[in-house]
Amino acid sequence: MTLPPIDTLVAALQRPEGLGALGPTAWDLLVRQGRQADLLARVGAQAEARGHWEQLPVEPRRHLGSAMGLAARQHTELRHEVVQIARALEPIGMPVVLLKGAAYTMAGLDASLGRMVSDVDILVPRARLADVESALMMGGWVSMNRDAYDQRYYRTWMHELPPLKHMTRGTVLDVHHAIMPLTARLKPDSDRLLQRARPVGDDPRIQVLCAPDMVLHSAAHLFHEGDLELGLRGLVDLDALLREFAADPGFWPELLARARALQLEWPLHQALRYAGMLLHSAVPAHVTEALQHSPGVRISTWRQRLMDALFLRALRPAHASASDAWTPAARFLLYLRGHWLRMPPAMLVWHLLHKLVRPVQADPQK
């Protein structure tokens, strides 16, 4: 299987000292792929953090600098928004447990360097969901989706409320009560995640998942989602988390134990496999072997080859220079797979039919 190379982008993310030697053609490709993958700001941030910014040509620096400025503004807005959410939930005694990009940024992790953050994701106990929603409504957040089917879909089957939007600031908040849909085949216990959450800094109202759980949530989100347009960014997040957390000698044993306890060995196996294949992430051999022999991971050779053919295409920038003739089919099949993993067959057929029919009903002329 020969695919168009993304070596320039990967090298820029991991070895920014080589950026100064790139010619105009390579820079053009890097900027296009990086922008499409939402990683352009990270390329610039990595170069700046490692002292190579001044070596970069002027024109590429303008593109990188523009993306970095946008990411910096998003981080500033995020910090303000998280404090507002904490204040809204304080009367009901509920901390803000952040997920994904918001968590990386507030915790000051390497994964936050140049990381775009368009909304805030939080995790709350399902038993307190009504209290949380009421408190947030009092704070100015309202549901963005008024469609009756979507409201029922989210509230009955999914792992989150319909997205909330603040009436004055326009910020978007996703309130999760689990990291997998209620109808999904894998059912990690959210209470276990919340029990191990830790405060960020000296504010006990603002928390993030513990290190292994942060990796596992990132893996579960990436390998059970059907939309992988920003899949490479998700993989870069994972790689950054692994490299930073691996400095703790106890990280890898704890990661394996938590994956087993939370029933997330399969997405972890896939995450480590493709992070290694695409980003050269360093994973200890004993970790790979332990996952391969886990009952939740056993996979036939032909099925793994099929998964490789699909994911090694979809986990790339959604750009023509990184795609081949089979890439659209791979993305579509993984989109269907994502839905298949989230719900039983009968529900899946009904849901997809509804999604197909609704646009026609909304506009009869189409």
Residue range 251-306, pLDDT digits in tens: 999 999 999 999 999 999 999 999 999 999 999 999 999 998 888 787 888 888 99
Task: Render pLDDT for 165-208 as a digit per residue (tens, 0 to 9).
Answer: 999 999 999 999 999 887 887 889 999 999 999 999 888 999 99
Least confident of 56-70, 115-129, 176-190, 210-224: 176-190
Residue 360 predicted with pLDDT over 50: no
Task: Render pLDDT for 212-252 as a digit per residue (tens, 0 to 9).
Answer: 999 999 999 999 877 788 999 999 999 999 999 999 999 99
Report the mean per-residue pLDDT for the chain: 89
* Res 46: pLDDT: 94
Of 187, 265, 184, 177, the closest CA to residue 226 belongs to 184
Q: Facing residues of 104 across strands? A: none
pLDDT bracket for residue 3 (50, 70, 90)? confident
3-class secondary-structure state, position 173? strand
The edge-to-edge listing of strands for the beta sheet with 203-208 is 141-143, 164-166, 172-176, 120-123, 96-99, 203-208, 198-200
Residue 352 predicted with pLDDT over 70: no
Of 268, 318, 326, 328, the closest CA to residue 9 belongs to 318
Q: What is the reported pTM?
A: 0.91
CB contact set of 76 (below 8 Å; sequence gap of 6+): none
Residue 346 predicted with pLDDT over 80: no
Query: What are the backbone angles phi and psi of residue 272, rounded to the nearest 5°?
Result: -70, -35
